């Protein structure tokens, strides 16, 4: 179903969240870059064959990854949501000072 959607829409890149297993590797004509954390939840970037990504970075938690394509940075973040997860969400929403 996902494979059909990607090809009907002529999608070059897809950013997925709540990735928990490796069956994405069966999607034809796409290279799959996964980042699955210890809690078995993660993110993935699918790139159509011929759209090579570089400088792939992964958060150890599995909740985020980034890659470059021809000078453009692609970022996929799977941040926790809901009031009960406010503390878990803080690293994703609080700006950091790099001075």
User: Of the candidates 17, 11, 12, 55, which has an alpha carbon nearest to the alpha carbon of residue 34?
Assistant: 17
Mean pLDDT score of the chain: 84
- Taking the alpha carbons at both ends of the chain, their separation in whole angstroms is 47
Any idea which of 41-50, 57-66, 86-95 has the lowest mean pLDDT? Answer: 86-95
36-56 pLDDT per residue, tens: 888 777 899 999 999 999 999
> Could you give all domains of the chain from N- to C-terminal order, each with its CATH number?
2-93 (3.60.10.10)
Asked whether the predicted pLDDT for residue 89 surpasses 80, the reply is no
Residues in Cβ contact with 65 at an 8 Å cutoff, skipping those fewer than 6 apart: 33, 35, 43, 44, 45, 56, 57, 58, 59, 75, 76
More confident residue, 90 or 8: 8
User: What is the mean predicted confidence (pLDDT) over 47-70?
Assistant: 93
Q: Quick one: average pLDDT of 70-85?
A: 82
């Amino acid at each position: 179903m996902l494979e059909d959607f990607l090809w009907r829409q002529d999608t070059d890149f897809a950013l997925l969240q709540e990735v928990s297993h490796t069956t994405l590797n069966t999607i034809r004509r796409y290279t799959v870059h996964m980042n699955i954390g210890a809690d078995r939840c993660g993110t993935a970037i699918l790139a159509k064959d011929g759209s090579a990504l570089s400088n792939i970075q992964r958060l150890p938690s599995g909740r985020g990854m980034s890659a470059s394509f021809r000078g453009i940075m692609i970022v996929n973040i799977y941040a926790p949501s809901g009031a009960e997860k406010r503390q878990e969400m803080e690293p994703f929403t609080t700006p950091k000072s790099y001075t």
